[in-house]
Structure formats: structure tokens, C-alpha cells
Amino acid sequence: MLPASTLFLDVSAQRDLWPGGAWPLVDADGAGNVAALFALAASLGIRQGGSRCVHLAGQPPPYAPRHCEIGSDGAAAAAGCDTAQPAVLLGSGDHAAAALDRTHAYYLTTGCGGPPDADPLARAALDHLTAGIRDTVVFGAAIERGLDRMVDACLRRRIRTHVVLDASAPADPAAAQQVIASWKRRGVDALTTATVARLLTRAR
């Protein structure tokens, strides 16, 4: 795993899904590990992007409390989860041409687990993020929802995919274990935060 050809994709690293949020899936240890990965990306110049959970105000999903409503504080990036490059949130359904570059970290919007590349702009942005990438490192909230969809998107692009389990949290632990087992059958690596740091710093 080389920093220049690695992409970090964080999923729903948002205040409402962190400790103290409206739907706190990620515990304090997990939040610390996610923050460590953000710091690692900044120190090594690793490309970053991911997806954000976004809901219209007053329209909560049927399986979760109200969270990550558009424009709310809870939808903002969690503590320690600011990218080194300016982050750009690409709205789902916006089919306008985007001037994609290498100076921004692009985030795709989902409705709590929908495919991150469901519309043309999102698909183009994920293709742009993954261009020239050999390894993706995926982590964040809702293993069996948002993370699983992001892993699927990476595998469709035939990219070697790693999930950082101690920096990832489930909404439903039993369902998440089934998803993790299916990842392993498909060749996805399950790593720890410490292992990711060791592999990337050793490769410098």
C-alpha cells in the first residue's frame, strides 16, 4: 500500500452519528481511530473523499431516529474529521457538470445507505477520485449500510479494498457480521487503524 496510490473513503463521519449525536453509532474509541486516519491522510498527502448521509428536514428514515438533516449541525463533519484539502459535498440528483480537480476532497450524498454513485455526477466524481488508485481504505458509520455500498462501488471498479474495522461501526451488529463475512469472501481486507498506519508509513 503506497500513499500516492491510496484513497481514503470515509462514510458518514458526521456529528449526529458520533458520540453525543442524534444516532450515535460510533463510540469514543471508534471516533478516535477515525480521527487518527484523517490525521494520517493529512500527514502523508493521501487522497480523500467519501460519502455523507443527508436527509430532508422532517423526513426521518423509518429505521432510525431523525439525523443528518440538510443544513443542521448534526450533518456537519464530526470532530477530527476535516480533510486537509477543502471538502466539496456533491448533492444527489444534481446532474450539472462539475469541474473536478485534485485540490478538493469530494463527498457524495446518500440517504442512509443508498449507492454512493447512483446518479451521473456522483458516478463521475467517484471515477475521478479513484482514477490511478490501487488501494482504497474505507471506514466510518453503518457497516451494513453506507460502508457496504461504498465497498460495492470500489469492487465494481476493480480496486483493492480494505475496511478498517476498529474505525467502523454498525447500526445492526448481527447484520454487520454477515456483511463483513461477505466482504472477506469477495477479497476485501479487514484491517486495524494501526495496521494501516504501519503499512503506509513503511512504504514511504
The CATH number for 11's domain is 3.40.50.850
Strand pairing category for 105-110 and 87-90: parallel
Q: What is the pTM of this model?
A: 0.94
Q: Which pLDDT score is estimated for 97? A: 45
> What is the chain's pLDDT, residue by residue, as a tens digit (204 residues)?
999 999 999 999 999 999 999 999 999 999 999 999 999 999 999 999 999 998 888 777 777 888 988 889 999 999 999 999 999 888 644 434 457 888 999 999 887 777 888 888 888 899 999 999 999 999 999 999 999 999 999 999 999 999 999 999 999 999 999 999 999 999 999 999 999 999 999 866
Residue 49's nearest CA partner among 112, 127, 119 is 127
Compute the half-sphere exposure of residue 61: CA atoms within 13 Å on the CB side of its CA.
16
Q: Which pLDDT score is estimated for 100? A: 85
Q: Which domain holds residue 82?
A: 3-202
What 8-state DSSP symbol labels residue 142? -
What 8-state DSSP symbol labels residue 61? -
Q: How many domains is the chain built from?
A: 1
Q: Which pLDDT score is estimated for 155? A: 96
